[in-house]
Structure 1
Amino acid sequence: MLTVNKLLPQGQGLAPVLLKRAATVELDWDVRQRSRFDATDSQGRALGVFLPRGTVVRGGDVLVAEDGAMIRVQAAAQAVLVITPCADHGSAFDLVRAAYHLGNRHVQIELQPDHLKIEPDHVLADMLRAMHLTVKATQAAFEPEGGAYAAGGHGHGHAHDHDHGHAHAHSNPAHGEPGHVHGPGCSHDHGHHGHEHGPHDAAAPSTTPAAPRGKPVGIAIKAATTPHVHGPGCNHDHDDHGHGHKH
């Protein structure tokens, strides 16, 4: 028995010639939604499949055995109900309504542009016919929708690397993007950004040593062409400026 513990979704990364030469195995949906099962491939070899829990096998996936042998999976034909709009007075919107009602009942559905497929269920078939849909029993491969959060992320879904709703801390003006706007609540250290906050900052000579944060240099204040105006909420120590304010 060949032990299989790896799966390549849709044979990703394999050359077409390798896929063409690989043995095949036909599996219905009941087996393919399991992570552990036994099967026999087209070469008559017994397979013991042990995949991570939650793995769903789709038609077109490739199983890889411990010895490197590759087996391409084919979705076997099985009993299904094919649901289509009424040919006389139906529309594609009828399929949307049908999918909605089936989804409310947690039914696995294969979604196609012009039809739906579900596993046989006479109660559901009667409900769909009452909605003026055509329901036909047949034998066909069944690939139900995996859902937006299905494990493995392959099958009908596509991986998108969209970053929705996240604020960018800084944009790059060199790329023609708008610059960052600083405002209340901004946690940046503005002392290192070279922003001009008013005449008080501009009056300080370049040779004056930097004062401790929140403690302005008195001589720089006197040299300013436009004096700093103190008012409510000012955090300066007014006694150092000679204003004679008593607080």
Structure 2
Amino acid sequence: MRTIDKRIAPPAKLAASLVARAPTLTLAYDERCKSRLAATLDTGEAVALVMPRGTVLADADILVADDGALVRVVAAAETVVVVRARDTLALTRAAYHLGNRHTPVEIGADYLKLAADAVLEAMLSRLGVDVERATLPFHPEAGAYGGGHRHGHDATFAEDYALAQQVFAQRHGDEKEPAGNGGADHVHSHDHDHDHGHGEEDSCAHNHRHSHGH
């Protein structure tokens, strides 16, 4: 079995004929995040994908196998939710609430795109935006700090998260504090289930369970 272990970093320029002849490897977003993956080229050949940890492959990336052969990445079409709104403010609010849940989101000029999720779709509908399922390639935003998702063990995560929660609370006046205690005993506990897979199944898909205890 051949091993694919290198990505040709841009702005490397390859002859168009070489790229055209390269076999393709079609992967969904979650698969493109894995540093270790048993995969199958579109030709039917089984290969082992072994990339540096933290690599997120993108559509049209060119990879190199251990025998020097090229492989071109194709982003698979998958079930996604496309979010549109009648005005920029509504779309921005939707992006804020998705970000507060650490949801991977693809951001376009007039749309948001996320993996299909019935709970998030219901939330978005309550926000008044248009929600539609589609089958399309999915290219979420990369992390602003060069990695994808930031984790609780990052040095500044606690401060950033506390600030985000403060902003969230200030903008949700309809969530009243219990009468009689001025809000002093209002406690938020946040349990995060991360599919980190720091072994051979690294993944950038993260599931977050938020529980609010009062």
TM range (shorter): 0.5 to 0.7
- In structure 1, give the amino acid aligned to 2:2: L
| Number of the residue aligned with 1:38 | 38
Deviations 1:58-101 (A, max 9, x none): 1111111011111100000111111011xxxx212322211111
* Structure 1 contact 10–62 (Cα < 8 Å) conserved: no
- Aligned equivalents of 1:77 and 1:28: distance in 2? 7
Unaligned runs of 5+ in 1: 153-247
Unaligned runs of 5+ in 2: 149-214
- Aligned equivalents of 1:63 and 1:82: distance in 2? 30
1:103 aligns with 2:99: yes
Question: In the TM superposition, what is the alpha-carbon distance from 1:10 to its structure 2 partner?
Answer: 6.0
RMSD over aligned Cα, in angstroms?
A: 1.6
Q: Which has the larger radius of gyration?
A: 1
TM-score for the superposition, normalised by structure 2: 0.65
| Number of the residue aligned with 1:125 | 121
* Structure 1 contact 27–76 (Cα < 8 Å) conserved: yes
In proportion to residue count, which structure has more strand? 2
| Number of the residue aligned with 1:116 | 112
- Identity value in percent: 44
| Number of the residue aligned with 1:78 | 78
- In structure 2, give the amino acid aligned to 1:104: N
* Structure 1 contact 75–142 (Cα < 8 Å) conserved: yes
Question: In the TM superposition, what is the alpha-carbon distance from 1:18 to its structure 2 partner?
Answer: 1.6
- Aligned equivalents of 1:138 and 1:76: distance in 2? 13
- Aligned equivalents of 1:2 and 1:24: distance in 2? 14
* Structure 1 contact 10–60 (Cα < 8 Å) conserved: no
- Aligned equivalents of 2:111 and 2:101: distance in 1? 18
Match of 2:90 among 86, 94, 97: 94
- Aligned equivalents of 2:11 and 2:43: distance in 1? 19
Query: Higher relative CO (CA 8 A, sep ≥ 6), structure 1 or 2?
Result: 2
| Number of the residue aligned with 1:145 | 141
Deviations 1:139-182 (A, max 9, x none): 11001000222349xxxxxxxxxxxxxxxxxxxxxxxxxxxxxx
